Structure 1
Amino acid sequence: MTGKTRRRMAADDRRSQLIEEATRLISEVGFRRFTIAELARACGLTRAGVLHHYASKEELLLDVLEARDRNDADAVFRDAARHGGDIRTMLDLLVRRNLTQPEIVRLYTVLAVEALDPGHPAHRFFADRWERTIGWLAEYLDGFERPARDVAIEIHSFMDGLQVNWLRDPTIDFAGQWSAFADDLFARRAVAGADTH
């Protein structure tokens, strides 16, 4: 028998289960091939049972994405506060977190590419997320010779590219590659700061 045995759950718990299973399925097959029927089987529900909680797979997708961002942000900020809270610490913690959840990284990578299509239901989500992320990074990146936004784009682009290649070739030392890049980048910040005194 495929799927899970059906059992009654509180509405919030059921939605959490649906988000968790949808995250796994979308990371495996992409959003275009993901179906409500497959999600229903994975959760031991009927298709109508899933649609009782989510009117469409597009609505579910946005909850999947927002839940992932919220969970990551909470974890990184909480850990960073215990370790000093500077931007390098936060980025190091994010890299370490991503290393422990390759399925989630794959989910975001697949969806970010699919969502380049303006007709994709997550197109606006990823466009807004890009601007928020670059803006947030830029707030912490003073002290470089280049504009903070340019440095933020460099960091984001390096990390995204590294993640794609790591998913393709898991033998890549993700943490080591990131550390070498970040050491060089933040050394330039120190030099630029010294030159202004």
Structure 2
Amino acid sequence: MQKTARIRLTADGRRAQLVDEAEAMIAQEGFSNFSIAGLAERAGISRAGVLHHFAGREDLLIAVLDRKERESAALSSRYISDRGAPDARAILDLLVRHNIERPEVIRLFSMLAAESIAPEHPAHEHFKRRLHRGAEQLEPLLTGYSRSPQSIAVELLSFMDGMQLNWLRDPTLDLWEHWTGFADAYFEGLAETERNRPAAT
């Protein structure tokens, strides 16, 4: 196992280092094989030193997941700030392009999402809520249709997650092509439904 030479860091710097190392270890070995002792060795500090900053394995796992979600939220916020209020399709396209550039992060999320299906897994509730949090962020951009914004958002995010999982299994799949083909047809279907809906009397 790779071991990092011990250096003095601020408390925030040490926490960030531990989250970095934990993310790399979980991506390589899965959470079930991740240990505080292994993290301490890799980070070049004692087990007690790790536990000074994090309560345990579960605390570190949630820190890894929370940081990744904050990164995605910040990306969307910067896009909105730079270009004004975009539609949901623009935000989803942005996230898909971003994910294509970081397959190792998507692999980590997919691995943990599968492991956390078990109700006793420490990330079970996190992933259960993740879809609803993502849908809530998209809902204000999906108004104006006869169907509920929540239903539309859940379907879009579910396709994205499923397609990314297949892309990880088979990198020869063109994730961008499959996403845009689906999204074009999906949003056109929504628009067609609205065009054909009888006018209110």
Alignment of 1:157-196 (within 5 A): 157-195=158-196
**Equivalent residue number for residue 111 of structure 1:** 112
**Equivalent residue number for residue 38 of structure 2:** 38
Secondary structure of residue in 1 paired with 2:22: helix
In structure 2, C-alpha distance between the alignment counterparts of 1:192 and 1:142, rounded to whole Å: 14
In structure 2, C-alpha distance between the alignment counterparts of 1:102 and 1:130, rounded to whole Å: 20
Secondary structure of residue in 1 paired with 2:128: helix
State the 1:94 CA deviation: 0.4
In structure 2, C-alpha distance between the alignment counterparts of 1:99 and 1:130, rounded to whole Å: 20
In structure 1, C-alpha distance between the alignment counterparts of 2:70 and 2:180, rounded to whole Å: 25
Secondary structure of residue in 1 paired with 2:33: coil
User: Does the CA-based 8 Å contact 1:24-1:103 persist in structure 2?
Assistant: no
CA displacement, residues 53-101 of structure 1 (integer Å, 9 cap, x when unaligned): 1120111111111111011110122124324422111101100111111
Deviates more, 1:105-114 or 1:139-148: 139-148
**Equivalent residue number for residue 63 of structure 1:** 63
- What is the aligned-residue RMSD (CA, Å)? 1.8
TM-score, normalization: structure 1? 0.91
In structure 2, C-alpha distance between the alignment counterparts of 1:95 and 1:30, rounded to whole Å: 24
Alignment of 1:132-147 (within 5 A): 132-147=133-148
User: Does the CA-based 8 Å contact 2:25-2:34 persist in structure 1?
Assistant: yes
Distance 1:116 1:57, change over 3 A: same
In structure 2, C-alpha distance between the alignment counterparts of 1:82 and 1:104, rounded to whole Å: 25
**Equivalent residue number for residue 121 of structure 1:** 122
Stretches of structure 2 lacking an aligned partner (at least 5 in a row)? none
Secondary structure of residue in 2 paired with 1:170: coil
User: Does the CA-based 8 Å contact 1:80-1:93 persist in structure 2?
Assistant: no
In structure 1, C-alpha distance between the alignment counterparts of 2:169 and 2:39, rounded to whole Å: 26
In structure 1, C-alpha distance between the alignment counterparts of 2:71 and 2:154, rounded to whole Å: 23
Of all paired residues, the percent bearing the same amino acid is 44
**Equivalent residue number for residue 157 of structure 2:** 156
State the 1:181 CA deviation: 0.8
User: Does the CA-based 8 Å contact 1:80-1:86 persist in structure 2?
Assistant: no
Q: What residue identity is the alignment partner of 1:123?
A: H
TM-score, normalization: structure 2? 0.90
User: Does the CA-based 8 Å contact 2:36-2:57 persist in structure 1?
Assistant: yes
Q: What residue identity is the alignment partner of 1:111?
A: L
Aligned residues: 197
Deviates more, 1:36-45 or 1:21-30: 36-45
State the 1:109 CA deviation: 0.9
Q: What residue identity is the alignment partner of 1:17?
A: Q
Stretches of structure 1 lacking an aligned partner (at least 5 in a row)? none
In structure 1, C-alpha distance between the alignment counterparts of 2:102 and 2:167, rounded to whole Å: 12
Distance 1:53 1:12, change over 3 A: same
State the 1:31 CA deviation: 0.8
